[in-house]
Amino acid sequence: MRKILILVLVVLILLFTAFYFLKTGEEVLMEEVKDTASSYIIYTSIFPLYEIARSLVGDTNMVNLVVPSGAEVHSYEPSPRRLAGLEKADVFFYIGLDLEPWAEEMAKVLADSGIRTVELSTYLPLLKFEEEGVEEDHHEDHHHGVYDPHVWLDPENMKTMAAIIRDELISLDPEQREKIQANYESYAEKIDELLAEYDTALRDLKQDTIIVSHAAFGYLARRYNFRQLSVSSLAPHGEPTPGNLARIVDTAREKNLKYIFLEPHLDRKMIEVVAREAGLEILILNPFIGLTEEERKKGEDYFSIMYKNLENLKKALVDTDE
């Protein structure tokens, strides 16, 4: 009897093992088919570019993201395994301007291998940090270039980058021209609607300064003629000097500011210190470096985030008497 039970147990184990490997093999095969079914493979450095590419090609092509959604873009270092995936790409889109410190060297390696690389900032009207009055002397641990790399926070730049990405994708897969062009037109129309809302809401400013977590909103400030005063200046996780904090508090009092902006992925402590000292209310201003799990479940995207940003900017710059 005991031998029979042992035999039955062995048979069950063998059946379970066979089923497991069969299922696993099917899953691997499905992943391989997903890869090979795509006519080309797209890699993007950061989430805003990933969202553009996905908007243009839909789910029928393989679009990959190097810097995980929500990760600190300035200091992120991709693992060797993640970088190795880039060797499978047909095209790699990145911002440049020292935003992704790893990307420029990687782009050279990829180009030498015959992979198309596109530095999107080269197609945009750039803003120098010195034009924004941004100081970097208290962030010696974090390197920045001459130009502000946060180009995607001006919707007009997003539209321009979408057009460049559209052209590159059509050149890779001419048979998909009509689909990609139609998706681009839909995307561009949404950008135009967003810009129209911003233009109307921020037409008559009653305040010309906002206080932010870090200097990510220079392009938006340039478009709508206001100034950003940054607590941590260029690096989101930088430590401001006491002198810089004192200047910010003094400016808030002199200009009778009512709000200070916090980026949702950053620590609140320093912002709370300034808010308490200057008597400011904390509002959210999202630089759209990615989406949280909750935001993904709600179907949030660049447009919904930027509309929320507009609501809070309007409070700080227009509705100051309310």
- CA 182, CA 171: separation in Å to the nearest integer? 15
**Long-range contacts at 49-53 (CB < 8 A, ≥ 24 apart):** 49/93, 49/94, 49/95, 49/120, 49/152, 49/161, 49/165, 51/301, 51/302, 52/158, 52/161, 52/162, 52/165, 52/187, 53/93, 53/165, 53/169
What's the pLDDT score for residue 95? 98
The residue to which tokens 């995207």 are assigned? 301
Q: Can you name the residues that pair with 42 across neighbouring β-strands?
A: 63, 91
Stated as kind and residue range, the H or E segment containing 284 is strand 281-284
- CA 81, CA 100: separation in Å to the nearest integer? 17
User: How do residues 51-71 score in pLDDT, each as one tens digit?
Assistant: 999 999 986 568 999 999 888
Average pLDDT over residues 125-148: 67
Q: Can you name the residues that pair with 230 across neighbouring β-strands?
A: 212
**Residues of the chain above pLDDT 70, percent:** 80
Lowest mean pLDDT among 127-136, 177-186, 219-228, 295-304: 127-136
- CA 230, CA 206: separation in Å to the nearest integer? 20
* Comparison of pLDDT for 242 and 55, the residue scoring more: 55
Q: How many CA atoms lie within 13 A of 116 on its CB side?
A: 15
The amino acid that residue 23 corresponds to is K
Sheet of strand 91-94: strand arrangement = 62-65, 41-44, 91-94, 116-119
* Comparison of pLDDT for 162 and 264, the residue scoring more: 162
Full-prediction pTM beyond 0.75? yes
Mean pLDDT comparison of 53-57, 139-143, 267-271, highest-scoring range: 53-57
Lowest mean pLDDT among 50-64, 209-223, 283-297: 50-64
Using an 8 Å Cβ cutoff, are 163 and 184 in contact? yes
Which of the four pLDDT bands, split at 50, 70 and 90, describes residue 134? low
What's the pLDDT score for residue 211? 96
Residues 6+ apart with CB under 8 A from 153: 216, 217, 219, 220, 287, 288
Q: Is 230 helix (H, G, I), strand (E, B) or coil?
A: strand
Q: Can you name the residues that pair with 284 across neighbouring β-strands?
A: 262
In the chain, what are the domains?
37-197 (3.40.50.1980), 203-317 (3.40.50.1980)
What's the pLDDT score for residue 27? 32
What's the pLDDT score for residue 322? 56
pLDDT above 70 (res 9): no
pLDDT above 60 (res 96): yes
- CA 47, CA 288: separation in Å to the nearest integer? 8
